[in-house]
Structure 1
Amino acid sequence: MESEGKRSYRMGARAAALEATRARIVQAAAEVWSQRWHDEVTLQHIAEAAGVSVQTIVNHFGSKDALYDALADAVAAQTGLSRQAPVGDVPGIVAALFADYERQGDANVLWIAQMDRIPAARRAAAHARGLHRAWLERVFADRLPDAGREREHALDLHYAATDIYLWKLWRRDLGLSRADAERAMRDLLDAIDPRRDQHAQ
């Protein structure tokens, strides 16, 4: 008869293996979807990239859209970990944001471009917008008005100044170096600092 210790170890090892497989599938999905449109990708494409069967993906996620949602959650979690910056440290904030955009900005732009016709992409984009706004509230807490319309207005300006499409404009469309693009964003953030008007009075 199997001991309790051996049974617990076996169950723990099985759970770890399942989690590793799940993570491998999500990583493969990220790689495939970073290069192709959502509706061009099949579960077979992802299965081949992950080295598993289509049935394994179905067992873990149920459907392609459910896998897409899981990928969006994983990207959001990774973004939260990578965007660590002290409150009010504009150079640090911009550097953290660019590290994120340089790593997965092109894939994010591709996903956003599909949100009008792909429900899963729309959900992912809405989730990302909420997370980005919450991040802005945290890292710019020292400069945002306390409440009301002025706070919302300031947040809107900071959102526009740090939006991924602005990164795309500078880095991809205009061909700026990363250093020059980061400088442009820092200058823009300094220009919209609500405290400038107070200091000028």
Structure 2
Amino acid sequence: MESETRRPYRMGARAAAVEVTRTRVLEAAAALWSRRWYDDVTLQHVADEAGVSVQTIVNHFGGKDGLADAVADLVASQAAVSRQAPTGDVAAIVAVLFEDYERHGDANVLWTAQMDRVPAIARAAAHARAQHREWLERVFADRLPAPGPAREHALNLHYAATDVYLWKLWRRDLGLAREDAERAMCDLLTSIDPRKSRDA
């Protein structure tokens, strides 16, 4: 009877240990790829960073592409959680977006620069674009036109005004202070409010 009771406990502890290892590998890979090119990071680098063997990574993810896909899913889920903003409040929306870009923008730009030659990154980029579009539709639901060409046009404008490359232009290339860059994005979003043209 005692062994019957202890077996589920041991299985539960084993599953928990597996999940901890998986998370440690994902976080190690995400950290490495946030500052280095995809091709420059080997499974051995990830294994060393995570404190596991290469075989452990292969067992969990099948290889480098599988690991990259899993990292992309992790980053996407974290972005979805962190980007909680009230609908229609432009300043709050921009502040939430900048909080995300200040933490992950450089890594996003680094990954995007590689999407034409790394299939795993291309898949991640496509997912990120779709996710950003869905976010825009949610936080700007009060101002977007009904479904149709006008809505698509408005979404394209909002996408361009909130893209990570615009953050990079202001913060990295032009060296704007965060406060000034946020104000610039707020002004841009306010200027493209489709309700203005409808009200005119």
Query: What is the TM-score normalised by the length of structure 1?
Result: 0.97
How far did 1:10 drift? 1.2
Hey, what does 2:15 align to over in structure 1? 15
CA displacement, residues 98-121 of structure 1 (integer Å, 9 cap, x when unaligned): 111001110110000000111111
Distance 2:99 2:124 in 1: 20
**In 2, Cα distance between equivalents of 1:2 and 1:99:** 52
- Per-residue CA deviations over 1:1-52 (Å, capped at 9, x if unaligned) read 6443321111111111100100000000011111111111110000000011
Identity of aligned residues (%): 73
Q: Aligned pair 1:140/2:140, yes or no?
A: yes
Distance in 2 between residues matched to 1:49 and 1:2, nearest whole Å: 40
Structure 2 unmatched ranges of 5 or more: none
Distance in 2, Cα, partners of 1:95 & 1:3: 55
Tell me the amino acid that sits aligned with residue 157 of structure 2.
L
Q: Per-residue CA shift, 1:111-150, capped at 9, x if unaligned? A: 0000011111111100100000000000000000011000
Which residue pairs with 1:34 in the alignment?
Answer: 34
Match of 1:177 in 2: 177
The residue number in structure 2 matching 1:120 is 120
CA RMSD, aligned part only?
0.9
For the residue of structure 2 that corresponds to 1:109, the secondary structure is: helix
2:140 partner amino acid: F
Deviations along 1:121-180, one digit per CA (max 9) or x if unpaired, are 111100100000000000000000011000000000000000000000000000001111
| Divergent runs of 4+, >6 A | none
**Equivalent position of 1:85 in the other structure:** 85
Aligned positions, number: 200
Amino acid at match of 1:87: T
Find the counterpart in structure 2 of residue 76 from structure 1: 76
Aligned residue for 1:67? 67
Q: TM-score, normalised by structure 2?
A: 0.98
Structure 2 residue 150 is matched with structure 1 residue 150: yes
CA distance in 2, matches of 1:173, 1:99: 18
Taking the aligned partners of 1:23 and 1:62, their CA distance within structure 2 comes to 15
Where do 5+ consecutive residues of structure 1 fail to align?
none
